[in-house]
Amino acid sequence: MSPRAITIAGYVVIGVAAVLVELLARRPHSRVPRLSQLVSRVMHEKWGRVGMLLVWWWLGFHFLSRS
């Protein structure tokens, strides 16, 4: 298996895990917060907003820039 295939498989596993956690959070009486609740909580703090800005920058830099 090539390193590229391992990387893609890793991202697929992370994506599937994120979807499963979101589905788990949407069950009635679940103690797991939904993604929207988590982002809302993080955005209430100054450092949370700075962290979100850095996450968006990292994603844009790595996935939208051309080599």
pLDDT tens readout for residues 4-24 = 999 999 999 999 999 999 999
Question: Are 23 and 41 found together in one domain?
Answer: no
Q: Let me know whether 27 and 56 are in one domain.
A: no
In DSSP notation, 4-57 reads: HHHHHHHHHHHHHHHHHHHHHHTSTT-SSPPHHHHHHHHTTSHHHHHHHHHHHH
Q: Indicate if 66 and 41 belong to the same structural domain.
A: yes
Asked if residue 14 and residue 3 are part of one domain, the reply reads yes
The CA-based angle 47-49-51, given to 5 degrees, is: 70
If DSSP codes are grouped into helix, strand and coil, which group holds residue 67?
coil
State pTM to two decimals. Answer: 0.68
Residue 67 has pLDDT above 70, yes or no: no
